[in-house]
Structure 1
Amino acid sequence: MAEPARRLAKEEFEFWRDERRRRRIHDPRPLRLRWQAAAELLTDHRENILRGRAAGPLELGGGLDQIAEVYREIPARRLVVLGRAGSGKTVLAVQLAVDLLATRVPDARVPVVVSLGSWKPDVPLEDWLLGQLIRDHPWLAEIGSERRALGAELVGAGWILPVLDGFDEIADGLRPTALRVLAEADLPLVLTSRPREYATAVNGTRGVHRAAVIELTDLALDDVTSYLRLASPKLAATSRVTTSWDPVFERLGTIPGSPTTANLVEALATPLMVALARTVYSDEPSRDPTVLLDGTRFRTAADIESHLVGNLIPSAYGARPGALSPRRSRHWNPEQAQRWLSFLATHLDRLATPDLAWWELGSTLSRRSRTLVVGVMTGLIFLVVTGLGNIPIDLIATTHGLDFAVRRGLVVGVLHGLVGGLVFGLTYWFADRRRVLKPAPIRIRLTRGPRQLGARLTTRLKLGVAGGCLFGVLVVLIDELLVNELFGLDDGLTSSGLLRSLVEFPLLVGLGAGLVLGTVTWLESPININDTGSPTDLLTANRTILLVHMLVWALVFGLVSGVAVSFAATPLRSVETGLAIGLEAAFAGGLCYGLSLTAWGQWFALARIWLPLNRKLPWRLIGFVQDACDRGALRQTGAVYQFRHTQLQRHLRAHPQVVMTPPR
């Protein structure tokens, strides 16, 4: 397992190195985070923590660059990091992971930073951790030497050091159980949390067994002023080098005890607020930070914090030449960005998760609404394909003329569209028993290898046979009773009779649909070890899988449908009629299958078409999300995105419209 562990370590190191660059943690220099030992009531007994330690007492105090050194001194390699909102817990955890990765020896554990907010303690920690690993690194689903997924082998053999970020994001009622599971887990770990939530869960327990507990302290004022000055552009035409922050710093030095200066010092005591102040004022030359000293507008430190959070989006989406990647040429205005990000924040709040996954965006609609959208879209596909497809069939295979062919094509298209929408809508309804389909970490392979069979194969076979038979029965009834009898548009191409058609056609179509779904399921295999786990890569991989599924559908279902129609057609026209109908079924059925029964298809139908039509999301959704990462509103974590700050997520949830203080 040394090679998979080495590969995982390399990917984690490169990702967090790049993420720190995107967050500008080292530009112009890191803020001086400091930490100290937490209160005794929040820790296990000192004797338990130091058990097995040969050296003297453990010194729990230091700065950002010392965290890895102190962690290595903890005998059990179990550390809890506490800090209030925005205090830099995630920054410290990431710094620890990067430092450990940079100096990792071949047989050492691989630190993996994961957000704990999506974990439910009724799921075994190892199983949940495996799911996060495979989601973010799909190649870990590849079957290893022990006939298990590589990720399962890494977790089971103790190669993973979980860095669990955000214990406070677990639901209130689940935290005591979650803490008990973490306390009893027999593995090294790092856990971050806000102090109050952790203290409530710890009450009456030993906390995380054998874990050292540290707490981040407020930033020193000298560090804040130095950082903001170095991060701001110099002012021109002055007798000395100054920045827009200098008048603020002078006021803080001359009147340190006034309520207005005390509020500002308190507000800028966390790295989050300092970073926001930099974005809102240092990156925007037209804005004057002395407004933060207005005691009539900002009566408390909380008012200043709310002001900074509320102005992040307007400031981040202001035009800042050179601030963004040259690939992001599209400029999203602040009003659009605020509305769309607010929609995403509300979506995450409803799901009670910090993870923004592209395949989950459809769940912003109710199951009934999703089914309706899928039914309408698949119905429109059948309407267009069968309506247009019947016209050349009747022109070539009959002598009724163009007018008849057009009228029959229109009627058949509308009726078949209703049937197709109904059948695929019902299929989607029964397939979508929980929320929306998740992208499976699989690929399509024709060679021998491990397959994804069992319940998945059985379910798809049942859906295919049932849906195909229902579709076949409805098509026969509509064609014979409505198109031919009621509308008088019988083209004379079928001769088998109603009863025989009701038996033969649905049976063949049902078997064909079941064969298609069974075939693509049999062809599925864990994804290639060379694939990666970014959101765009996972999206591309699932699109490729969809195209292969549609190709199999076209070949198998189109052939079966063509044969079925050939048996029912008149002898002189059986081959060309069967071929034409087979092509219709292949094209329409393949598209509808992709939209209704694959994660990428549902994402395309719901998140790329329906939600933009309703102005809930932008048309260039992936471009917008990646742009939001560049601007500091979102961050990428493996195969998902997250809001950069929980305060920003809460603010956007409550304020769908921009509320911005005019520049002064």
Structure 2
Amino acid sequence: MTQEVLAERSDLSVRTIRRLETGQSANPQVETVRLLADALRLKPDERAQLLAVAAGQTPPDPPSDNGIPLVSSFERGLAEATDDLAHAVRARWEREEELRRIQDPFPLPVRWQLAPDDVMDHWANICRAAPGESATPLDLAGHLPEIADFYGRIPSGRLVVLGRAGSGKSVLAGRFVLDMLRTRPRAGAVPVVFSLGSWNPTTTGFRDWLAGRLVRDHPGLSATGRDGSTLACALVEAGRILPVLDGFDELAEGLHRAALDALNATTLPLLLTSRPGEYATVARSDALTAAAAVSLTDLTVSDLVNYLPRTSGATGWEPVLNELRDHPEHPASVNLRAVLTTPLMIGLARAIYSDPAGHDPQELLDTDRFDGQYALEDHLLSSFIPTVYRDQPGRRRWDPDGVQRWLRYLARHLNRLGTRDLTWWQLGSTMRPLRRLFVVGLVAGVAFAFAAGLVATLMGGLGFETEAADAFTAGPLDGLAAALAVGLARGVGLAFGGAAIKPFRVQMRLHGGERRLGVRFIRRFMVGVTVGLALAGGLGLAGVLGIHFWIVGKLGPGPWYGVLAGLVIGPLIGLVWGLMARFEAPLDVRTAVNPTDLLTTNRATVIFQSVVLGLVSAVAYGVMAGLMHGARYGLLHGVSYGLVLGLAVGLGVTLSLTAWGQWLALARIWLPLHRRLPWALIAFLDDACQRGVLRHVGAVYQFRHARLHDHLTG
């Protein structure tokens, strides 16, 4: 292959190819190496080796004397991470099937047939035929229990599953993952479900997006190598991930063509699900390269007769099923038959009518009440939530009106964000920025004023009556100052970091933390320096204007003492925060992370860091007071007042600069105060998963059915 041909294939310049071949470019960009790997159509192990060498990692060990290649340490680590990920994915989907009662009493018979030719690629490409050779079309009819074997018969390893809303695409995706994992060889590719609705192919490359989703749902894969790339990136580049892309139709309007072009630029095996209309619109001009396509078929009356009576001990379904079977021409049968053709609607009907204490399913045949298919569907969707939230022994009771109000708020919140993924750290992010600044500052100010009063009381108990009285009086005033400072800090975060701060995906450990601090230390130190400069400028200006803060005034009168406090404490906070990265270890890859686990881990990490930063600020204040007023005053008074300042620093860092602090201020205090969400929010969300309204998807929640989500926003 000439340099010109390789350049054309890879979209790189001939000059870049020449510099790489001659060794003039000794440190190529990762994206450049990826483009070369795609153009050369390297196998997964070859791709991993190329990327490892280009990143400056140790290349694989040379072959042994008998010619058999030895497994390098890089490959061993990758294989171990792959197996750990497979364990976590299997645990998650087995739990998901239990919650959705897929096997109770048996899975609904999801079936498929060959999709129309105009949404499929050529059979020669699907079968990977050599140039000039023809290919025989494959038999693409099948049903759910054989999905893994069916997929294995497709030479290209690329499959598109089309089906209308509620037809069982997500059920098929979950069963595909579990069946593939059962037959997966050690260190083989791991099937992972990715919800496509959050991908913007115009701003994020496909492989980068896959790696980002892996890190979000499996924080242990955020561990970095010497080149700074994550373990998730290495797994994707090495072909150790089999993407199961759920919801092509849920991509934002106008992105379907760009997404399909991005998928066509890769040779990765994958399974893609979509509603037929959205996929056909772009596939008729250029379908997914080398992908076979199938369409899910409707369930039959025989399927209903075999399934619904076995979901209940009562016989209420028999008259309804007899009517469907014996009088298919009656209007009531026509309407109901049009509805009960998908697993979604059958699942809703089961939840509402299969309980002996529930409603009588014969009301579904009432044509005066339900004059058509859509009236029946609206009835099932509207009745589902009140049904699953009715009083049940052993379950927590929720206010029925509150449940509807809270779920509607969550659904509309997701609509405003343009996503199906409900993340706890983004709750409140759709509030107007000024309101968010006000809320965060108000919470911080009240908390600080209370803390200052508490410290003042303790100081009074130790005999510092005058100082205690001053502190108790000045605490609320300094609380207002703290509110302003925290609000402004959050404003800076909004300006530079976007609407929501991402949560930490690490845990604090004395051993096993980050050994190479590098860029993370520098970034954190610079944040501290910036905060210190802002604090010094703000306190100095306040002093010039005649505004004196009680806690700073204890160092000495005049604006220069405020400037000194900021210049000392800010960089010190940055230094300590940067060094704390040494004790931050990635989470265990084998852990099947859910939103509650991630929230708990973040809370522990944030509290630890805030306490450390608060204590460092307290000691720094005490040292400054001692140097200015003598050791006796510094030890006796400086540390006491430093505790108040430490509380302010800890609260400020927590509420303005961390995801958990934002969650605390907005989702746990402000939104419940306004009745948008319940006070016991995590308990409510987890209970909604148990009742079948929501589901866990890695570290986020989703409404279990897109139709239910859309219904709640109406």
Please state how far the C-alpha of 1:373 moved relative to its aligned partner.
Answer: 0.8
Q: 2:421 aligns with which of 330, 355, 363?
A: 355
**How big is the shift at 1:43?**
0.4
Please list the CA deviations of residues 496-538 of structure 1 after superposition, one character each: whole Å capped at 9, or x if unmatched: 5425524433332333444444444565454455655211111
Amino acid at match of 2:119: L
Q: Which moved more, 1:291-300 or 1:341-350?
A: 291-300
Q: Distance in 2 between matches of 1:266 and 1:514?
A: 64
In structure 1, the partner of 2:279 is 198
Provide the C-alpha distance between the structure 2 equivalents of 1:5 and 1:500, rounded to a whole number of angstroms.
57
2:686 aligns with one of 607, 623, 626: 626
Per the TM alignment, residue 105 of structure 1 is displaced from its structure 2 partner at its CA by 1.1
Q: Does 1:442 align with 2:506?
A: yes
Give the structure 1 partner of residue 163 of structure 2.
83
Partner of 1:127: 208
1:466 to 515, 518, 533: 533
Amino acid in the other structure paired with 1:438: K
Equivalent residue number for residue 113 of structure 2: 36
Q: Report SS of the residue matched to 1:80.
A: strand
For the 8 Å contact 2:452–2:644, the answer to whether it is kept is: yes
Following the alignment from structure 2 to structure 1, what is the Cα–Cα distance between the partners of residues 471 and 618? 19
- Deviation digits for residues 111-163 of structure 1 (CA, Å, limit 9, x no counterpart): 00111110110211111101111111111112358764221111111111000
Q: Is the 8 A contact 1:251 1:261 kept in 2?
A: yes
- Which residue in 2 is equivalent to 1:338? 404
Instruction: Identify the match of residue 143 of structure 1 among 224, 240, 244.
Output: 224
- What residue identity is the alignment partner of 1:348? L
Structure 1: segments with no counterpart, 5+ residues: 235-242, 485-490, 655-664
1:382 CA drift (Å): 2.3
Note the alpha carbon deviations across 1:74-132, whole angstroms, 9 max, x for none: 01100000000000011112111111111111243110011111011021111110111
Cα shift readout 1:611-642 (whole Å, capped 9, x = no counterpart): 11111111111111110011010011111110
Counterpart CA distance in 2 for 1:630 and 1:382 is 38
Equivalent pair of 1:83/1:194 in contact (CA under 8 Å) = yes
**Partner residue in 2 for 1:48:** 125
C-alpha change, 1:331 and 1:116, in structure 2 (3 Å) is: same
User: Equivalent residue for 1:372?
Assistant: 438
Q: Report the CA distance shift for 1:28/1:528 in structure 2 as closer, same or farther (over 3 A).
A: closer
Equivalent pair of 1:634/1:642 in contact (CA under 8 Å): yes
Work out which of the residue numbers 251, 257, 262 in structure 2 matches 1:176.
257
Q: Deviations over 1:181-204 (max 9, x none)?
A: 112221100000000010112132
2:103 paired residue number? 26
**Residue among 308, 331, 334 paired with 1:259:** 331
In the TM superposition, residue 477 of structure 1 has moved relative to its aligned partner by 6.3
TM-score by length of 2: 0.83
Match of 1:239 in 2: none
Amino acid at match of 2:188: A
Partner of 1:363: helix, strand, or coil?
coil
Instruction: Quote the residue 1:658 is aligned against.
Output: none
CA contact (8 A) 1:309 1:651 kept: yes
Q: Aligned AA for 2:309?
A: R
Residues 81 and 215 in structure 1, CA contact (< 8 A), matched pair in contact too: yes
Hey, what's the Cα distance between the residues in 1 that align with 2:125 and 2:135?
Answer: 15
Q: Is the 8 A contact 1:494 1:569 kept in 2?
A: no
Cα distance in 2 for partners of 1:538, 1:380 equals 27
Q: Could you say which residue in structure 2 is the equivalent of 1:305?
A: 377
Q: Name the CA distance, whole Å, in 2 between partners of 1:22 and 1:5.
A: 26
Moved more, 89-98 or 451-460: 451-460
CA distance in 1, matches of 2:305, 2:129: 43
2:429 partner SS: helix
Provide the aligned C-alpha RMSD in A.
2.6
2:243 aligns to what? 162
Counterpart check, 1:427 vs 2:489:
yes
Which amino acid is the alignment partner of residue 430 of structure 2? T
Contact between 1:383 and 1:416, CA under 8 Å: does it hold in 2? Answer: yes
The one of 570, 578, 599 equivalent to 1:510 is 570
- Letter of the aligned partner of 1:171 in structure 2? A
Which amino acid in structure 2 is aligned with residue 427 of structure 1? Answer: A
- Pairing of 1:408-427 with structure 2 (within 5 A): 408-427=470-489
Deviates more, 1:68-77 or 1:379-388: 379-388
Rounded Cα–Cα distance in structure 1 between residues aligned with 2:82 and 2:538: 50
Structure 1 pair 160–64 and aligned structure 2 pair: CA distance change class (3 A): same
How do residues 585-624 of structure 1 correspond to structure 2 at under 5 angstroms?
585-624=645-684
Q: Report which stretch shifted further, 408-417 or 252-261.
A: 408-417
Assess if the C-alpha contact under 8 Å between 2:529 and 2:571 holds in 1: no
Q: Match for residue 295 of structure 1? A: 367
Following superposition, the deviation at residue 309 of structure 1 comes to: 0.7
Whole-Å separation in 2 of the counterparts to 1:100 and 1:178: 25
- State how far apart, in whole Å, the 2-side matches of 1:313 and 1:344 are: 14
> Counterpart of 2:246 in structure 1: which amino acid?
D
| Mapped contact 1:464–1:515 kept (Cα < 8 A) | no
CA shift for structure 1 position 396: 6.5
Kindly tell me: are residues 245 and 528 of structure 1, through their superposed partners in 2, closer, same or farther at Cα, counting changes over 3 Å? closer
C-alpha distance 517-423 of structure 1, shift in aligned 2 (>3 A): farther
Asked whether 1:221 is paired with 2:320, we answer no
2:196 — aligned with what? 116
Looking at structure 2, the residues matched to 166 and 281 of structure 1 have their Cα atoms a distance apart, in angstroms, of 29
Corresponding position of 1:318:
390
- CA-CA distance at 1:652 after TM superposition: 1.0
Q: Which amino acid aligns with 1:140?
A: L
Whole-Å Cα distance in 2 between the matches of residues 292 and 562 of structure 1?
75
Give a deviation string over 1:413-440, Cα, whole Å, max 9, x none.
1221111111111011101231111113
Q: Deviations over 1:37-90 (max 9, x none)?
A: 000001011222122499964110011112211110101100000000000011
Task: Please give the TM-score of this superposition, normalised by the length of structure 1.
Answer: 0.89
Partner of 1:662: none
Higher relative contact order (CA 8 A, sep 6+): 1
Question: Counterpart of 1:457 in 2: which secondary structure?
Answer: helix
Is the 2:592–2:698 contact (alpha carbons within 8 Å) kept by the matching residues of 1?
no
What amino acid is aligned across from residue 303 of structure 1 in structure 2?
A: A
**Equivalent residues in 2 for 1:628-643 (5 A)?**
628-643=688-703
Report the Cα distance in structure 1 between the residues aligned to 2:686 and 2:553, rounded to whole angstroms.
54
Letter in 2 for 1:268: L
Task: Give the 3 Å change call, closer, same or farther, for CA 34–477 of structure 1 in structure 2.
Answer: same
Report the residue type matching 1:110 in the other structure: V
* Mapped partners of 1:522, 1:471: distance in 2: 32
SS at match of 1:600: helix
CA distance in 1, matches of 2:416, 2:555: 56
Query: Does structure 1 conserve the Cα–Cα contact (< 8 Å) formed by 2:672 and 2:679?
Result: yes
Aligned to 2:619: 559
Distance 2:165 2:218 in 1: 29
Q: 2-side partners of 1:494 and 1:171: how far apart?
A: 56
Q: Which residue of 2 aligns with 1:277?
A: 349
Paired letter, 2:331: P
Deviation string for 1:317-343 (max 9, x for gaps)?
A: 01244xxxx6xx421133221111111
Identity of aligned residues (%): 42
Which amino acid is 2:596 matched to? T
Q: Distance in 2 between matches of 1:30 and 1:392?
A: 64
Give the gaps of 5 or more residues in structure 2.
1-77
1:188 equivalent in structure 2: 269
Question: Please, which of 653, 657, 661 is the counterpart of residue 713 of structure 2?
Answer: 653
